[in-house]
């Protein structure tokens, strides 16, 4: 029990740290960020409900493991409603990007917060119906439909992301024609953002694919005719998968967020103890300055390929254009 308390306490501290950094760096601006937090918080609350269930088991409460007990039923249903949306997060992100593609003209300026409400309403409506049905059929029927919905929506998310990438890639090639393809600067920016998000989505999907598959598989195992001890072990595995899922997913998302990483580094620096010698500011040798400058110029194009950047040529071009503007 102490180990469980430590796990969920660490997760809560991790969540509060992420929220603090997000507030500090103003990470609630885009619809993608809003969806992330609207799914992330309930997952954490779901794990706290899971901890409450284990406490009831330890104190040998009648509500500890009896589906006929109204209190146990309520907290178990609440936990499912909180945790199930985590399995739909990929679909929510892809749906938001499709809206971004549809409203290409002004999506960056007009975020349309009502789109977030629609996506979240659909996600939580499916989660609530799934959780309600899951508890009604928990004893007598099958969990196959619920696992199928989880896996099916994840597969649709992969396909939807690829289709959105292909569409925006075609837009991008058109916008690079000499006549600009008829796209405004705002449209070209949004096309590039959609393509970049597709690459980020692929990295995120690969990172959490194990959890997206193993979670529903645990639900499918419930249908097998196995002993009570094996079912209990399966429940423990499922709880562990959900816990790791709630930690790994935000970690991957924040890993690709420069603002978050910069603020986290600043916070960690405060807790580190440096000796006086390390704290002294030493002048950098010219070679070190040059190396540092070259390392900072890791520029990538829309498709993530590294671009060759000639600093001398760019500097000459800049001053030549500046000189023309003064004449």
10-residue averages of pLDDT along the chain (327 residues) = 68 81 78 87 82 75 67 82 86 92 86 90 89 65 76 90 93 80 82 90 86 83 78 81 83 82 83 55 48 49 57 62 60
Q: Calculate the CA dihedral of residues 260, 212, 156, 38 and round it to 10 degrees.
A: -40
Domains of the chain, start order: 2-270 (1.20.1070.10), 284-326 (no CATH)
Residue 216: φ, ψ to 5°:
-60, -35
pLDDT of residue 110: 84
pLDDT of residue 292: 42
User: Degrees (nearest 5) of the Cα angle 67, 69, 147?
Assistant: 25
190-226 burial, b at 16+ Cβ within 10 Å, e below that, comes to bbbbbbbbbbbbeebbeebeebbeebbebbbbbeeee
**C-beta separation of 192 from 97 below 8 A:** no
Mapped onto helix, strand or coil, the DSSP state of residue 300 is strand
pLDDT of residue 280: 53
**C-beta separation of 194 from 100 below 8 A:** yes
Distance CA 199, CA 265 (A): 25
pLDDT of residue 269: 84
Residue 316: φ, ψ to 5°:
-65, -45
Mapped onto helix, strand or coil, the DSSP state of residue 263 is helix
pLDDT of residue 213: 85
Distance CA 64, CA 39 (A): 27
Q: Give counts: helices (H), strands (E), the chain.
A: 12, 0
């Amino acid at each position: 029990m102490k180990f469980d308390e430590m796990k969920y306490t660490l997760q809560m501290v991790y969540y509060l740290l992420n929220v603090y950094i997000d507030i500090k760096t103003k990470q609630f601006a885009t619809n993608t960020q809003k969806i992330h937090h609207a799914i992330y918080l309930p997952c954490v609350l779901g794990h706290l409900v899971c901890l409450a269930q284990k406490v009831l088991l330890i104190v040998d409460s009648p509500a500890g493991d009896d589906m006929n007990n109204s209190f146990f039923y309520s907290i178990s249903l609440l936990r499912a409603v909180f945790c199930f949306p985590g399995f739909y997060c990929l679909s929510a992100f892809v749906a938001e990007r499709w809206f971004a593609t549809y409203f290409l003209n002004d999506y960056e300026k007009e975020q349309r917060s009502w789109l977030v409400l629609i996506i979240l309403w659909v996600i939580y409506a499916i989660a609530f119906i799934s959780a309600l049905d899951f508890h009604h059929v928990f004893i007598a029927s099958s969990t196959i439909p619920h696992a199928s919905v989880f896996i099916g929506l994840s597969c649709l998310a992969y396909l939807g992301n690829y289709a959105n990438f292909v569409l925006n890639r075609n837009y991008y090639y058109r916008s690079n024609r000499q006549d600009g393809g008829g796209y405004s600067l705002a449209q070209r920016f949004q096309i590039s953002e959609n393509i970049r998000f597709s690459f980020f989505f692929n990295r995120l999907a690969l990172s959490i694919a194990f959890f997206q598959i193993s979670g529903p598989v645990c639900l499918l195992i419930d249908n097998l005719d196995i002993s009570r001890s094996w079912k209990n072990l399966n429940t423990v595995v499922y709880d562990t998968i959900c816990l790791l899922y709630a930690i790994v997913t935000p970690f991957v998302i924040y890993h690709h967020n420069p603002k978050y990483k910069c603020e986290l580094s600043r916070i960690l620096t405060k807790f580190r103890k440096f000796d006086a010698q390390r704290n002294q500011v030493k002048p950098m040798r010219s070679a070190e300055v040059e190396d540092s400058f070259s390392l900072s110029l890791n520029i990538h194009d829309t498709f993530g390929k590294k671009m060759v950047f000639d600093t001398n040529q760019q500097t000459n071009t800049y001053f030549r254009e500046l000189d023309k503007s003064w004449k």
